A = this chain, B = another copy of it.
Amino acid sequence: MAEQGTRRRARGGGGAARRAERTAVKVEAARYIERNIPNLEILNDEALEIIEANAETVLAEIGVNFVENPEALRRWREAGAEVEGERVRIPRGLARELCKTAPANYTQHARNPERSVEIGGGNLVLAPVYGPPFVRGHRSGRRYATIDDFRDFVRLGQMSKWLHHSGGTVCEPTDIPVNKRHLDMLLAHMTLSDKPFMGSVTEPSRARDSVEMCEILFGKDFVRDNTVMTSLVNINSPLTFDATMMGALEVYAAANQACILSPFIVGGAMAPTTVAGTLTQVTAEVLAGVAYSQLIRPGAPVIAGAFVTSIDMNSGAPTFGTPEASQITYGMGQIVRRLGLPYRSAGAFCGSKLPDAQAGYESANSLNMGLLAGVNFMLHACGWLEGGLVASFEKFVMDADQLGVLHQIAKGIDLSENGQAMDAIREVGPGGHYLGCAHTQANFQSAFWRSQVLDYKPFEQWFEEGARDTATLAAARVEKMLADYQQPPLDPAVDEALTAYVAERKASMSDAIG
């Protein structure tokens, strides 16, 4: 033993110390947020009733299109809608009535039961960025995303304490053919993370692959009886439901797997320029989408979503972290709660090209609004850059760190005897200080939320250590988290079966695009 100790020191105490430290890394994962604070409600009852009545008018008089989907048209006709070509006009009250069978909340199971999440009610579940074709890294700059990048993002997600969900397409692995990507992405979420994840929606067959892989991971019986995926089904605003997305919804709803039904709106392009007009259209779209999910299978879990941004009148570019988006997010929260459905909105949105101050302002605006708007499922809660074109490694860890702020605010204020701290005030008295008092000693370690990324050092120390900005500090954090990453244990037989499934499915496909 002594000899071994000596040998280790001889090899270099620093290295051994580092190894020991690494072994000691504890992968922490916070429970999803259970709010103990109220939501901000910016619309009064009269305003809500106007918007809801207008949405019913939109559905009844203008209607929605279900494109290239005769089966959907048949379902709507049978349910009592007026179908003309691909246009579906839904009589007042019908969509709202159909929505009633959708559950107010549901459990999405993770393979590690401790990571399962309750979606709905006062809860908030945080998931990473979804969809960027590019990545940006401190050293490598901006480039097309690969499956290696994808895996690194899944690893970062697994290591991020305040992130509850592994997400879906955290970036597009553009080095894998389009028709095979979903298999590699799912395999990464299933093997590199033990947090809940999302299924593929880019084709009905890929949704079926997602269900089948879940059957391997969780067992067939478990998947039949439980929700193990929450997948993102976009509505094509204005008022259009395309066959691909509806095809995925049909597969998932039939399998009792959850979908987010969410318009993707750039205000002024896919919706009116006004907040009330956008709320009206989004309400109509969500009512029609959720109602349709219930036509497929009453009781299928769904989330009503609103992805909204505004447009820059000079450049035509979408803008993020803007006040109009905040107003829509607050208002839509109220409307969705009145529908008795879980709500998806917000994210660490920004238009910035870099993880700089713009990214910080815009993302914090969006994150705070998401917490206070009563959002239940927040996609894009970390890693989003450049209007969603880029997944940024540094932004991922910066945002993921800030998600801790939301957890702490949501706790509400402790009014226990210890929280009231009257003993401390008595002990210290006028002109004293609290640093040494008994109450401070007892509470100091857990009293204040602390960032793991941002700089709290005195100027002189910060300057001597290289005067690093946040992006540089975050780059170091990315490297440390990837170095510390620990793969969660998985039954080798399951691992093997998943890998075999992916190989088999890939072998059956051409490398065709699409």
A112 at the interface (CB under 8 A from B): no
B372 and A268 contact, CB distance less than 8 A: no
A425 and B281 contact, CB distance less than 8 A: yes
Instruction: Determine the residue in chain B with the shortest Cβ distance to A432.
Output: B238
B448 and A271 contact, CB distance less than 8 A: no
A354 at the interface (CB under 8 A from B): yes
A455 and B419 contact, CB distance less than 8 A: no
A273 at the interface (CB under 8 A from B): yes
Instruction: Determine the residue in chain B with the shortest Cβ distance to A418.
Output: B274
A409 at the interface (CB under 8 A from B): yes
| CB < 8 Å neighbour of A439 from B273, B356, B443 | B273
A54 at the interface (CB under 8 A from B): yes
B447 and A274 contact, CB distance less than 8 A: yes
A109 to chain B, nearest CB (A): 30
| Chain A interface category by residue count | 35 or more
Instruction: Determine the residue in chain B with the shortest Cβ distance to A420.
Output: B276
CA distance A448 to B454 in the complex (A): 32
Give the one of A274, A386, A408, A462 with max B CB within 10 A.
A274
B-binding segment of A2-10, A178-186, A296-304, A357-365 = A357-365
A431 and B239 contact, CB distance less than 8 A: yes
CA distance A412 to B40 in the complex (A): 12
A323 at the interface (CB under 8 A from B): yes
Task: Bits for A169-192, please: 1 = Cβ < 8 Å to B, else 0.
Answer: 000000000000000000000000
Q: A326-B409, A327-B413, A357-B360 are in contact. List 20 more A-B contacts (CB 8 A).
A: A43-B413, A62-B426, A62-B430, A64-B430, A238-B429, A314-B456, A317-B458, A324-B447, A324-B449, A351-B454, A351-B456, A352-B470, A357-B398, A357-B469, A361-B398, A363-B364, A364-B364, A364-B368, A368-B369, A372-B372
Query: Can you sample 7 A-B contacts with CB below 8 Å?
Result: A42-B412, A238-B431, A274-B414, A274-B419, A352-B454, A356-B469, A356-B470
